[in-house]
Amino acid sequence: MQILIWTVVLVAVCYSISLSLLYFRQRDFIFPIPQTTRTSPEAAGFAQAEEHRLTTADGETIIVWHVPAKLSRPVIIYFHGNGDFLAAQVGRFQKLTADGNGLIAVSYRGYAGSSGLPSEQGLLQDAAAAYAFAKARYDAGQIVPWDFSLGTGVATALAAENAIQKLVLEAPYSSMVDVAAFHFSYVPVRWLLRDQFRSDLRVVRIGAPLLIMHGDRDRTIPVRFGERLFDLALEPKQFVRFPEGGHDDLASYGAIETGLKFIRSGGG
């Protein structure tokens, strides 16, 4: 009996230590910043982009890359994934702007030359600064947030509060709580998670046409979370499923072409 008691105590202590580590290091999991140093557009091979430094409402300085839209073409506000940085996305940016679309690509606080440390509230302030930058140059009817993974939660929050033309969500989640509960099923994440990114509560306030793209083989954000978000969203909306697609490879299955076709289409 004493051995059993000590075993239970040991398990309880180990579990408590694990919970403590997850709680205090949770932002290391959500925001695994791959690069903190600045890379200019020219050095990254994207000389057509202008680099700007924006000041957020709480005083941080974030970097955005801006490619001006031609004539009345849309401007895409791009919010990247948690393990991305702007210089690594140049190939994608070139495809997005090839037919005259504008681009405003955001380097979140703490990422690749931007000051501060990332958090949900912080990233939403970064998004607000990027939207203000866009609105100073374009009509709201030209603005199209296009976002990947972590960035879809940022874009959904932005679109729920501001006028946009359309919204493109690539590998989105219903909430960060759902994703964390999937990966850490033994942890009461709904009580512990500080950055919950509740897209499920925000998407119901978006009236702009919506495109969701997701891969059936996504093991990072399972497709059911994208489906849940889609079910909650208002019309007009489209869901494009890539049967062979995982999480980071949707571009290989036509995601960029699908998104651009959606943007060019007259309706939702």
Q: What is the pLDDT of residue 7?
A: 57
What is the pLDDT averaged over residues 256-263?
Answer: 98
Q: How many residues does the chain have?
A: 268
Residues 118 and 225 both lie in one domain: yes
Whether 247 is a known active-site residue: answer yes
Write down the catalytic residue from 66, 80, 214, 247.
Answer: 247
Residues 19 and 39 both lie in one domain: no
Write down the catalytic residue from 66, 80, 107, 149.
Answer: 149
Residues 17 and 45 both lie in one domain: no
pLDDT at position 237 over 80: yes
Q: What is the pLDDT of residue 60?
A: 98
Write down the catalytic residue from 84, 126, 178, 218.
Answer: 218
What is the pLDDT averaged over residues 47-65?
Answer: 98
Q: What is the pLDDT of residue 12?
A: 52
Residue 82 and residue 216: Cα distance in Å, rounded?
A: 20
Q: What is the pLDDT of residue 244?
A: 97
Residues 43 and 165 both lie in one domain: yes
Confidence of residue 102 (pLDDT cuts 50, 70, 90): very high
Confidence of residue 114 (pLDDT cuts 50, 70, 90): very high
pLDDT at position 28 over 90: no
Per the CB < 8 A criterion, the answer to whether 65 and 89 are in contact is: no
Count of domains for the chain: 2
Residues 22 and 51 both lie in one domain: no
Confidence of residue 191 (pLDDT cuts 50, 70, 90): low
pTM value is: 0.91
180: which 2 tokens? Answer: 């964390």
DSSP of 178-202: HHHHHH-TTS-HHHH-S----HHHH
Q: What is the pLDDT of residue 190?
A: 75
178: which 2 tokens? Answer: 């759902």
CATH number of the domain where residue 164 is located: 3.40.50.1820
For residue 18, what are the domain limits? Answer: 1-30
Q: What is the pLDDT of residue 181?
A: 86
Residues 42 and 2 both lie in one domain: no
Confidence of residue 55 (pLDDT cuts 50, 70, 90): very high
Of 50, 60, 57, nearest to 113 by C-alpha is: 60
Least confident interval from 14-18, 57-61, 76-80, 196-200: 14-18
Whether 214 is a known active-site residue: answer no
DSSP state of 216: T
pLDDT at position 167 over 70: yes
Whether 66 is a known active-site residue: answer no
Cα 228 to Cα 72, 201, 210, distances in angstroms: 34, 11, 14
Confidence of residue 192 (pLDDT cuts 50, 70, 90): confident
Residues 116 and 236 both lie in one domain: yes
Confidence of residue 80 (pLDDT cuts 50, 70, 90): very high
Residue 167 and residue 211: Cα distance in Å, rounded?
A: 6
Of 108, 135, 152, nearest to 250 by C-alpha is: 152
